[in-house]
Amino acid sequence: MEQVLLLNITYEPLRIINWKQAVTMLTLGKVEVLEQYSREIHSVSFSIRLPSVVRLLRFVKKPRTPVKFSRQNIYIRDNYRCQYCGRKLPPDQLTWDHVKPKARGGKTEWENIVTCCMECNRRKGGRLPLEASMKLIRKPSIPKWLPALKITLGLKVMPQSWRDYLYWNIELEE
């Protein structure tokens, strides 16, 4: 149940692991515990407080896992801004737009999809931006997110003890 934040030796957040993995790594001497939950676990040979943040004692190269292609992640990549008029809007007032229209062979992929407000979407219709005299504020690309941002995206509630290790990322987000 309790999740553990795994940090690289550099303190960079890597991923979330479960407490059993964390305890295994701990007994193998692979990690040190930085933060703990109040709950204790007992086994025949030991009893410890559950770790909440652990840090690797050896550097590991960050695994490059691609960011899932989804509507929400497109909005996040574009910072909830219409990529034509630049307005920042709540998700229910946004949609996505095929820069090169589907009917003209435009693919549904990171490099051809942008966040778009309803107005700009209507205005553009089935045309290319140039044909509609519209200009993208930024060329769409595959996001290369900081792992911390990806880590927190999937969580409903972030454990308090993680904040010190992830907060720098919250600042970057704005």
| Closer residue to Zn ion (CB): 7 or 120 | 120
| Closest distance to Zn ion from the beta carbon of 96 (Å) | 12
CA-to-CA dists, residue 5 to 17, 31, 38, 77, angstroms? 6, 11, 16, 23
CB nearer to Zn ion: give 54 or 120: 120
CB of 158 to Zn ion, least distance (A): 32
Minimum separation from the CB atom of position 53 to Zn ion (A): 41
Cα gap 33→122, rounded to integer Å = 54
Residue 151 CA to residue 166 CA, distance in Å, equals 9
Residue 131: φ, ψ to 5°: -65, -30
Angstrom distance (rounded) from CA 36 to CA 19: 11
* CB nearer Zn ion, residue 76 or residue 82: 82
Considering the complex, what minimum distance in angstroms separates the CB of residue 85 from Zn ion? 3
Whichever of 67 and 85 has its CB closer to Zn ion, that residue is 85
Of 4, 10, 5, nearest in space to 61 by CA: 10
For residue 134, give the DSSP letter: -
Binding site for Zn ion (CB under 5 A): 82, 84-85, 117, 120
